[in-house]
Structure 1
Amino acid sequence: MQEELEMKSGSAVRSGPADHAQGGGSVAYRQKQQLERYLSFFSSLAFSATLLASWESAGGSIQSGLLNGGPAAIVYGIIISTIGNLTIACSLAELASVHPTAGAQYHWSYFLAPRFRRFISFFQGSLAPPYSYVPANLAGWVTVFSWSALVCISPYFIGAQIQGMIALAHPDYEVVPWRSTLLMWAVALIPIVINIFARRILGPIEVAAGIMHVVFLPVTIAVFVILAPRNPNEFVWNTFVSLGGWSNSGVAYSVGLLGVITPLSGITPSLPLLIHEADECPGVDGVIHMAEEVKNAKTVVPRSMIYGTLINGVLAFSYLVAVLYCMGNYEEALLSPTGFPIITIAYQATGSLPATFVLMAMGMLPGWIALFNGLASVTRLAWAFARDNGLPFSDFFARVDPRFKIPIRALFLVASCIVALSFIQIGSSTAFNAILSLSTLGLYISYLIPLWLLVYKRVTAPSDIPRGTFSLGKWGLPVNLLAILFATYFVIFLPFPPQVPVTGENMQYAGPVLGFVMLFAIGDWIVRGRHRWEGPTVSLRAYGRE
């Protein structure tokens, strides 16, 4: 007999195992809503928009395009990026409108899979954060560690830019790793405090950040246009450059394209270039993981995902076109001693250190506030994962604090991982970047698995696909296929090193590490995963299986 517990707005909260519909003998539970719903549509839209921080991070990631592909890769790449990420956002939004839950992708994969759903959700969990399978094993810790690595990107990125500006003002300044670690701590401290003690003001903060995200852009463009000399149209729209050593122009273009694809994905491209191409936190799915704190989540979350991606695409395109028209000496920018071509480009345009610092601050401030959102999102991911028995000591980390109304133990777990990772980059930037790159690959794979399963369902049993508040209708199959094509293309070229010949410093280790994780996942499934993983603890009502 099925146990009846309160469930609100289709949200999932840990209560018991789900029926995996394949003879497992488990029962489906309805779950009790534990998190307070306080985020409105505008807060959620601002959350989605600022979490990507597209134009702000496009400036930081421009070196990839300048090195491989040049202006042509940048200006056309951002158009491709907008279209591709919109197809992913629309495809995931359709699933989010049916079941908006902090667990997201591995929940959807579990219920869309026609067979072997326990293995598929288990395997996806082992490859991609925030998902794994059983308590008290290594994979659970790797999961939280990986998503915490993504949260590290924003403070690392901002701290590195601060050091770059210091280097611009003081050419004798030495950029050293331990200073980057201290800056990371300083940048992350206030978001952690706000997430604990002032959760209720996250909504207004997100709206304010969204306003800055939109308003600061025309101000920045105006400064460039007024003060900087113009490059000809030919330079912006028809200049191909290959300085990374790739002999094949298609490969060079694709590697350079990553620098403008990722600002709309919320992840990082070729990290062996250190922070030159760093970006923000979780991608187009970031707002999904806050779904259990969003009012009317089944409607608000899908709209926020799509509108946020579209807004960021338009802003990033406008910014990059303005920068390309107004940038000065190409080689001087590319070889900038600050580590960031955009700092040198801003200084070339203004000729003033204070003006350069103001321009950079207008890009860094919304990106810093995005960390407030990213930290909240990843905390909910860790909490949802613990709720599904995916972490060691899951009962401990799944608890929602009755005073602060947040999973505070999960927050401290994520914060602890950030601190731990900050020490890694002191000893080895290569090891630090390999960890971040693995998270990037895992994120896109976490998109691909439910998308493939959704396409299979559309072809074999379209009537079984549940309809939510948002539906692609007859456009579902082509949009899903285009999303798969884009994500696959990105996964293929993401592990490519930015320069050849390949050395220990510029090697992309994400591919080999991912291969090891895949082998580990298969072996662990054979040994014990198949005996202990029962699937996510969610309600089956939305999927028509209750």
Structure 2
Amino acid sequence: MPRTRRRAGRDPVAIDDDATLHAMGYPRKLTRRFQAFDNFAISFTIINIISGIFSSFGFGMNAGGPRVLVFGWIGVSVMVLFVGAAMAEVASAYPTSGALYFSAGKLARRHKGAWSWFTGWLNFVGQVGGTAATGYAAATFVQAFLALQWTSYRPTAHQTVLITALIIVLQGLANTYTVRLVAVLNRISVWWLLIGLVVIVGALVVGPDEHRSASFVTHFVNNTGFTSGLYGGMLGLLVTSWTFTGFDGSFHMSEETVRATVNAPRGITRAIAWSAATGLVLMLALVYSIGDYTKVAGSAAPPVQILIDGLGTGGAKALLLIVIGAMLFCGLANLTSNTRQIFAFSRDGAMPGSRWWHSVSPRTRTPVKAVWLAVVCSLALVLPGWWSHTAFTAIVSVNVVGLFLAYAVPIFLRLRLGADFSPGPWHLGRWSRPIGVVAVIWVLLSSALFMLPQASPITVDSFNYAPIALAVVLVVATVWWFATARRRFQGPVSYGRPDEVAAMDLV
């Protein structure tokens, strides 16, 4: 169990947040308005079980069916909790907005700049891809709602891109204003998710005339086109993995969180645990409400078809509004996390135009320019969808792989450091190493799954572009590193001694 302990004159819990930040070499520029619940809320909202399950449920129906949807959810949730716990231990030791790339630079014995550089760019690309993909999913469900409301409405790729762009810009505007507003919206999002879950599950329990038998959870389906049932079932595990991304958001909000050395790691682990429990309830409700399996699995949006079959068009439309709201909150929180990573990465001089992106608005105390860089980058990823959905999928496919590889790097480096690692107040004690080992192994296995073919026959439209997208990111980052970056970026920088950086505080 995580616990606290005293280390060499250090108060294990009541550590001064500013003193901790100053000891890491940074002045305080951001406002600390996130309490423990707010920090939990951002990761819980980004994970977003309603958004994740509704977006990927159809894939799971064809890749393993109910058996993998339900039991795969349980197994993968446990593995993700291992990853989250190992990350949380690192977050307690290095509670900064830089999060993964900062801790990678600090934990590496050699080549600190390189470890930090590649971790930071994987994290950046993964988060930008996540913002774009979440906005696109929300736009898709908005159009599903419009098609139910007006039968003459025909969704098009152009409309999806335009709605996605509008959503991302509105989320950028929300992030432009104060941290207090973002915190309030994230609190609302938690209750939206929890109350929405109760409403959706309650409707699926009461509404349909018939439900599947208890044994239906063992039903196995392999419609992936591959003859191997084992391979098809393993692909189904991706449903849960797709959902459980973005919990590094609590880590990125450390510099705006009160008692961050404790509340940030708790935010990570609690968000995963609550998402695992509530997501299982939603998954079971959807699985037991499936009517005609072939009809539902073959529909454009299987969860929507389940709602229509069980509750009628009126009921489906009402619940779709809950789903769309959850997706909008998810994108908002994802953009917030992305912005803080850009702010911190720029503060250390790792991005072109760093001087711009780490500046903070004197009025709102938020990194406004970083917000709009994140918005522009996300819109750039969405734009290819104007011509081809396949092109859009290829570009954002690096989202999950990039994020989980970025998660694994500081955990791996912490393992290599061994007894030389100085944990923060929240740590895993003697369980630290075994949990870290399991976390790294799981990330490697799940990343391999993400890059394997996911449908047969393999065509231009069904090809999995994640390996190509990841290779492009790594090649660009590598060329850039050896060409110029290694001479100007040596990893996280220090702005001076604690007393010197304290004098630079802007808040």
Query: Under a length normalisation based on structure 2, what TM-score does the superposition of the two structures give?
Result: 0.90
Task: State the partner residue of 1:233.
Answer: 214
Structure 1 distance, partners of 2:49, 2:497, is: 37
SS of alignment partner, residue 494 of structure 1: helix
Q: Is the 8 A contact 1:50 1:206 kept in 2?
A: yes
CA RMSD of aligned residues (A): 2.2
Q: Give per-residue Cα distances to partners, 1:27-75, cap 9 Å, x unaligned.
A: x973210001111111212222122111342122101111111111100
User: Which sections of structure 1, spanning at least 5 residues, go unmatched?
Assistant: 1-5, 13-27, 131-142, 266-282
Corresponding residue for residue 30 of structure 1: 25
Aligned twin of 1:208: 188
Aligned to 1:457: 417
Q: Give the distance between the partners of 1:322 and 1:441, measured in 2 at CA.
A: 29
Equivalent residue runs for 1:468-479 within 5 Å:
468-479=424-435
Structure 1 pair 519/410, CA: closer, same or farther in 2 (3 Å)? closer
Letter of the 2:123 partner, please give it.
Answer: P
Check conservation: 1:63, 1:259, Cα contact below 8 A.
no
Q: Please state how far the C-alpha of 1:150 moved relative to its aligned partner.
A: 1.7
Q: CA deviation at 1:9?
A: 4.5
Give per-residue Cα distances to partners, 1:316-367, cap 9 Å, x unaligned: 101101111111111111111xx2100000011112x121011121222133
Please give the alpha-carbon distance, in whole angstroms, between the structure 2 residues aligned to 1:521 and 1:193: 30
Change (3 A) 1:296 1:9: farther
Query: 2:18 corresponds to which residue?
Result: 8
2:308 corresponds to 1:347: yes
**Which deviations, in whole Å up to 9, do the C-alpha atoms of 1:466-492 show, x marking residues without a partner?**
121111001111111111122111100
Match of 2:501 in 1: none
Paired residue for 2:444?
488
Equivalent position of 1:303 in the other structure:
266
Q: Give the conservation status (yes or no) of the 8 Å contact 1:62–1:342.
A: yes
Q: How far 1:171 sits from its partner (Å)?
A: 5.4
Change (3 A) 1:246 1:468: same
Q: Given that residues 102 and 380 in structure 1 are in contact (C-alpha distance below 8 angstroms), is that contact kept between their aligned partners in structure 2? A: yes
Letter in 2 for 1:503: T
SS in structure 1 at match of 2:201: helix
TM-score under structure 1 length normalisation: 0.84
The count of aligned residue pairs is 482
CA deviation profile, 1:118-174 (whole Å, cap 9, x unmatched):
332233345x132xxxxxxxxxxxx5xx53232112221111012123334555543
Counterpart in 2 of 1:257? 237
Identity %: 25
Aligned counterpart, 1:103 = 98
The letter of the residue matching 1:296 is R
1: CA distance between counterparts of 2:442 and 2:497? Answer: 32
Distance 1:230 1:500 in 2: 31
Q: Which residue of 1 aligns with 2:123?
A: 129
Instruction: State the alpha-carbon separation in 2 of the partners of residues 393 and 102 from structure 1.
Output: 18
| Conserved 8 A contact 1:81-1:264 | no
- Counting only pairs closer than 5 Å after superposition, residues 330-369 of structure 1 correspond to structure 2 as 330-336=293-299, 339-351=300-312, 353-369=313-329
Q: Is the 8 A contact 1:290 1:380 kept in 2?
A: yes
Instruction: Give the equivalent residue in structure 1 for 2:391.
Output: 431
Q: Distance in 1 between matches of 2:494 and 2:281?
A: 42
Partner amino acid, structure 2, of 1:501? P
Q: Is the 8 A contact 1:47 1:206 kept in 2?
A: yes
Deviation at 1:94, TM superposition (A): 0.4
CA shift at 1:527, angstroms? 3.6
CA distance in 2 between counterparts of 1:530 and 1:204 reads 40
Deviation at 1:7, TM superposition (A): 8.4
Distance change (3 Å), C-alpha of 1:520 and 1:195? closer
| Structure 2: distance between partners of 1:315 and 1:164 | 25
**Cα distance change, pair 232–95 in 1 and its aligned pair in 2 (3 A):** same
Query: Does the CA contact (< 8 Å) of 1:62 and 1:260 recur in 2?
Result: no
Matches of 1:541 and 1:332 in 2, distance apart? 65
Residues 522 and 450 (structure 1), Cα distance of their counterparts in 2 relative to 1, 3 Å cut: same
Report if aligned partners of 1:107, 1:536 keep a CA contact under 8 Å in 2.
Answer: yes
Structure 2: how far apart are the matches of 1:526 and 1:216?
49
The whole-number CA distance in structure 2 between the counterparts of 1:72 and 1:169 is 34
Q: Distance in 2 between matches of 1:55 and 1:435?
A: 24
Moved more, 435-444 or 189-198: 189-198
With over 3 angstroms needed to count, the CA separation of the structure-2 counterparts of 1:29 and 1:222, relative to structure 1, is: closer
Give me the whole-angstrom Cα distance separating, in 1, the residues matched to 2:163 and 2:117. Answer: 37
CA deviations 1:489-522 (Å, max 9, x no partner) are 1100002232111101111112023234434444
Of 537, 542, 545, the match for 2:493: 537
CA contact 1:9–1:298 (8 Å) conserved in 2: no
Which has the larger displacement, 297-306 or 420-429? 420-429
Is 1:467 matched with 2:423? yes
Once the two structures are superposed, the pairs formed by residues 42-191 of structure 1 within 5 Å of their partners are 42-126=37-121, 128-130=122-124, 143=125, 147-169=127-149, 173-191=153-171
Match of 1:406 in 2: 366
CA contact (8 A) 2:61 2:297 kept: yes
Partner residue of 1:392 out of 352, 355, 361:
352
Q: Note the alpha carbon deviations across 1:181-238, whole angstroms, 9 max, x for none.
A: 22113323432222223542222222222112112212211111112111012222x1
CA distance in structure 2 between the partners assigned to 1:407 and 1:224 by the alignment: 43
- 1:100–1:297: 8 Å Cα contact kept in structure 2? yes
2-side partners of 1:517 and 1:162: how far apart? 31
Query: Aligned equivalents of 1:478 and 1:341: distance in 2?
Result: 39
**Structure 2 counterpart SS, 1:90:** helix
Counterpart of 2:257 (choices 267, 270, 294) is 294
Name the CA distance, whole Å, in 2 between partners of 1:202 and 1:345: 34
Query: 1:401·1:407 contact (CA, 8 Å) conserved in 2?
Result: yes
Gap change, CA 1:534 and 1:323, over 3 Å in 2: same
Question: Structure 1: how far apart are the matches of 2:428 and 2:390?
Answer: 42
Deviation per residue, 1:257-300 (Å, 9 max, x gap): 101222122xxxxxxxxxxxxxxxxx121121111111111111
For 1:38, give the aligned amino acid.
R
Which of 176, 187, 194 is the aligned partner of 1:196? 176
